[in-house]
C-alpha cells in the first residue's frame, strides 16, 4: 500500500476523503489510468484507496507511470531511465524499478 501511495503522489493524483473511511485519503486517477477497474471499488468511479490500486499487477496502471518517468511517450526511452534500478524483465521488476526511481527522485538524486 505504501508503494502505491508513493506512486499516486508522484503522479500528482488529486486526493479526496475515502468514501468508506473518512480518515483515509483516496486518489482520483481520472483518465490517467485508462482501464481502471471500478467493479469492486466502493468509492466514486476512478477514485481508489492505495490498497485497491493495481500498479504492481496491471500494465494499464503501471505504464502511465513509466511514461511519466521517461518524460515522453517513448516507452523505450522510459525503460532506459529505469534500467539502472533493476533488470527490467516483467511487471514485478518494472514495478520495483519504478518504486526505487521515485524514492531516489523524492530524495533529490534524480
The mean pLDDT of 79-88, rounded to a whole number, is 69
Number of compact structural domains in the chain: 1
Domain extent at residue 13: 2-106
Note the pLDDT tens digit of each residue in 59-77. 889 989 988 888 755 666 6
- Report if pTM > 0.85: no
What value does the mean pLDDT take over residues 85-100? 82
State residue 32 phi and psi, 5-degree precision: -65, -35
Place of cell 518504486: 99
**Interior angle at CA 72, CA 84 and CA 77, nearest 5:** 35
Amino acid at each position: 500500500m505504501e508503494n502505491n501511495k508513493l506512486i499516486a503522489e508522484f503522479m500528482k493524483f488529486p486526493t479526496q476523503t475515502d468514501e468508506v473511511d473518512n480518515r483515509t485519503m483516496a486518489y482520483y486517477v481520472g483518465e490517467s489510468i485508462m482501464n481502471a477497474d471500478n467493479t469492486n471499488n466502493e468509492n466514486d468511479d476512478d477514485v481508489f484507496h492505495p490498497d485497491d490500486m493495481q500498479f504492481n499487477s496491471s500494465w494499464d496502471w503501471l505504464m502511465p507511470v513509466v511514461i511519466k518517468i521517461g518524460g515522453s511517450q517513448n516507452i523505450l526511452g522510459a525503460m532506459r531511465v529505469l534500467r539502472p534500478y533493476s533488470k527490467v524483465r516483467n511487471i514485478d521488476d518494472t514495478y520495483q524499478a519504478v518504486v526505487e526511481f521515485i524514492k531516489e527522485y523524492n530524495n533529490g538524486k534524480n
